[in-house]
Chain A
Amino acid sequence: MVDVTIIGAGITGSLIAHCLSRYDLKVLVVEKESDVAEGATGANSAMVHSGHDPKPGTLKCRYNLLGNRMYPDLCRELQVRYVPIGAYVAATSQEEEKKLDTLISQCIERNVPYEVLNGDEARKNEPNLSDSVSKVLSLPTTGIIVPWEVTIAAMEEAMLNGTELKLDYEVKSIEKKEDHFLINGEIKTKVIVNCAGAHCDEITGMLRPSPYRVEAKKGEYFVLDHLDGSFVKHVIYPIPTEKGKGVLAVPTVHGNVLLGPNSEFTPDVEDDSTGEGLDFIRSEVAKTVKNIPFHKLIHTFAGLRPHIDLNDFYIQEDDLIEGFIHVAGIESPGLTSAPAIAKDVCENMILPKFKEAKARENYIRRKPFIDMKEMSDEEKEELIRKDPDFGKLICRCEQISMGQIRDVINRKCGARTLKGVKMRCRPGMGRCQGSFCEPDVTNILMEELHKDVKEIRLDRPGSNICAALAKEDL
């Protein structure tokens, strides 16, 4: 019998597993995709909001403020990157300045550090702010992270401490028995945490009529190649509207810049295709920033926000079904909120059910990913001396060695797919988008996983790379 089963290995599910892994509980995470962080966690603005924006009194507001404060320590603990780069919210008209004043008063009420700059002062620090920007709210506690890196690290550490992860495992049925649940007729578990993102209403619907309905909202983004701070140094927000935070310019941890998102409802919760939204982003982002280096465009993507019709997070134990915990509607600021949600769910909703649970002794910490780009030549030298594969460069754009790729495959929660390798150590994230190195990464996956080429996939089942061997169909 499993103590706690978490459905969905996005950032919330993974951080809940991570919190629980400190106790001697039997924890299982099931995920329908072939890797963690494949849903909303894998496609968003990759930032930690300061908490200036959510409506007062909402769960979004509460968890955002708490989560923002938790990130620096959490990232240090997991040995992943957190960069407190700060944000500018830019007003371009008198009307917008008024809305900015509302945000300023929210900062005061919420104890969010801030500073107010006029347009010229702001442009001194951020020369590519558009000329029409007249007033700026500067938010120094805004940070950037790599969402999937946090997720992978949390899951890796949880697994080092006993958590089990089942990938490619879709939940199709849940039955409530006397003192446990039965998932797909085979997994017995005392508690279920529903972290299924865009599918959380379907999961709930397996036990009872769902009190909420997912209305997925698509957000599309542009990715620009490494600009290394030469374009924008802060996250640049426009003034938020009813539709959301608006189209942002976000520097990433790796020196790229994201432009986006738009926000459109989509009828299909699996549809993460890009479309007309990209044209909208192009025109929207030009309102707050200028000299946008669109010639550095290397990628576009879309993510689905698991918005629910209650317009707030829904985080509580079910009022009818004991042991079934909802963590639903985790859209923006969900990434920021995730550590606070995880802590709350773990300490106040799950642990009280397991009074006997003791803290795990000899908790095992994960080792950080090997980032050769950040190393000195001496450090690289030492690494290569131990294993010459670290001297063999596979990805020229991001300068990733064969040793790094082997390392991310051979870990707990290791890469099983091309995308998994890409998320963990970046071959394919650069300006050539993997057109040089992908065949070599495929080879390394085959070697390390002892698989035939026909079994190597981009990500989910069916996304196999090899369609046929040469001449096979002749």
Chain B
Amino acid sequence: MEKHELVIVGGGSAGIAAALGAAENGLRDIVVIEREREYGGILQQCIHNGFGLHTFNEELSGPAYAEKYYSLIKNNESIHFLYDSAATEIQGHVVTVQTREGMKKLEGKAIIMSTGCRERPAGAIGLKGNRCEGVYTAGTAQKYLNRKGFLVGKKIFILGSGDIGLIMARRMTLEGAKVIGVAELMPYSNGLARNMKQCLEDFDIPLYLSHTVEAVHGRSRLESITLIEVDNKLKKIPGSEKKIECDCLLLSVGLIPENKLIEDLGVRMDPKTKGAVVDDYYMTSVEGIFACGNALHVHDLVDYVSIEARKAGKAAAAYVQNGKDETETIENIVQNGISYMVPQHFHKGNDIEFMFRVNRVFKECSIHVFGKGLNKIFKKPGIVPSEMQKIALKKEDLAHLEGELFWEVCE
């Protein structure tokens, strides 16, 4: 058994930033476990640009962002990466790791889970029709194209307006495929505004709002899909079916935080975020185990992942050095238009940045934050579910708070 101050599971954007955060706050023995043979995780297949505006004031590609962020820790002797190494189990604070050299057991005084997220697959949305070749999640098509060099289809239809789907609409077009259209179940897009413009509008790719794919058809390879319109209650409108010929359907229908290892450990999960329930130190319900990045909740931008993970690294360092903050925590209660809040509970002696999403589109509105000893209203110019919101509260704001803290949207 190897003993370390901090074991970080996952060497993608969150893992790198968490290692940085921990090292710059005094930890000298940090190990990052990475399944692939290089750092960076999913960034390595995101060869489009748009990464790093907040962190480096420039637009970088995914691999360039990873490299630039990694350069901040490259020569740091406190941080050691284990590549081609997969965490297969966690018991207590001991991580079992499978490597080409054999099985290893790594014990960390603290453990940070930065395991990222996965895409919701076709099976999870009960897509009707044949199990023929040609239905892919957008990320898989991205890996095939950007890392293996080939297209999984020539005539593409995309279900879901998530960012990866939009990015792939542009990528596949540039590489010689024809993208016929994008269908989005909701009456609004789920992607970032800049991706709508740069990936669809600039290439004249139609977006079908309030539409979904009813079924896929094909024997060996996908031959067509049935597109159907939905009403404002998201119910399919009979008679609105339209058959569209295509050889590939890409799915961009949501991302799910990847947490099997800590679910098995019995860490309390938030059914809304599908990540762990954490406090303002990003500590889960199991002492000394932290979570951050897309494993905690799905972020819009890698920059936000890095910022959060760096803070988690700092918090883990403080835990290793000083132990747990034993003061009581206050629960966040979300209602009326707010779908989730991270952290789910917090210690009121700190300045805290709260991150949340709304559950529908709001035009001009305000976020009402209230409880016994606190009442604040934050005006917002209009917010959508696809954009993560942040509100910071100072410890002075929180000092007199008692009981629970409520959050809601007021129109």
| A interface list, Cβ under 8 A from B | 222-223, 270-276, 278, 295, 297-301, 377, 380-381, 384-385, 388-389, 391-393, 396-397, 399, 401, 431-436, 438-439, 442-443, 453, 457-474
Q: Select the stretch in B98-106, B355-363, B366-374, B379-387 that faces chain A.
A: B98-106
Q: Is the CB of A466 within 8 A of B150?
A: yes
Q: Is the CB of A464 within 8 A of B221?
A: yes
A389 to B101, CA, bound (A): 10
Q: Does B408 contact A (CB under 8 A)?
A: no
A385 to B127, CA, bound (A): 43
Q: Is the CB of A443 within 8 A of B220?
A: no
- How many A-B residue pairs lie within 8 Å, measured between CB atoms? 163
Q: Does B151 contact A (CB under 8 A)?
A: yes
A35 to B360, CA, bound (A): 47
Q: Is the CB of A401 within 8 A of B137?
A: no
Q: Select the stretch in B12-20, B117-125, B291-299, B321-329 that faces chain A.
A: B117-125
Q: Is the CB of A299 within 8 A of B103?
A: no
Complex: chain A residue closest to B136, CB-CB: A435
Complex: chain B residue closest to A430, CB-CB: B260
Q: Is the CB of B148 within 8 A of A433?
A: no
Q: Is the CB of B175 within 8 A of A393?
A: no
Q: Does B198 contact A (CB under 8 A)?
A: no
Q: How far is the CB of B394 from chain A (nearest CB, A)?
A: 37
Q: Is the CB of B121 within 8 A of A461?
A: no
Complex: chain B residue closest to A395, CB-CB: B86
Partner of A278 from the list B86, B101, B126, B149 (CB cut-off 8 Å) is B126
Q: Is the CB of A436 within 8 A of B118?
A: yes
Q: Is the CB of A297 within 8 A of B123?
A: yes
Q: Is the CB of A453 within 8 A of B122?
A: no
A385 to B248, CA, bound (A): 42
Partner of B35 from the list A278, A396, A466 (CB cut-off 8 Å) is A396
Interface residues of B in 218-257 (CB under 8 A from A): 219-221, 247-248
Complex: chain A residue closest to B115, CB-CB: A396
Complex: chain A residue closest to B145, CB-CB: A470
Rank and list the top 10 A-B pairs by shortest CB-CB distance, nearest first: A462-B220, A299-B123, A433-B121, A393-B86, A473-B176, A463-B133, A388-B100, A458-B133, A391-B100, A463-B220
List 15 A–B pairs whose Cβ atoms lie within 8 Å, in order of A's numbering.
A274-B126, A275-B129, A278-B126, A298-B121, A298-B124, A380-B103, A384-B102, A384-B103, A459-B220, A463-B133, A463-B220, A463-B221, A464-B133, A467-B152, A469-B149
Q: How far is the CB of A187 from chain B (nearest CB, A)?
A: 25
List A contacts of B247 (CB < 8 A): 467
List B contacts of A457 (CB < 8 A): 133
Q: Does B140 contact A (CB under 8 A)?
A: yes
Interface residues of B in 136-172 (CB under 8 A from A): 136-137, 139-140, 143-145, 147-154
List A contacts of B177 (CB < 8 A): 467-468, 473
Q: How far is the CB of A184 from chain B (nearest CB, A)?
A: 21
Q: Is the CB of A377 within 8 A of B96?
A: yes
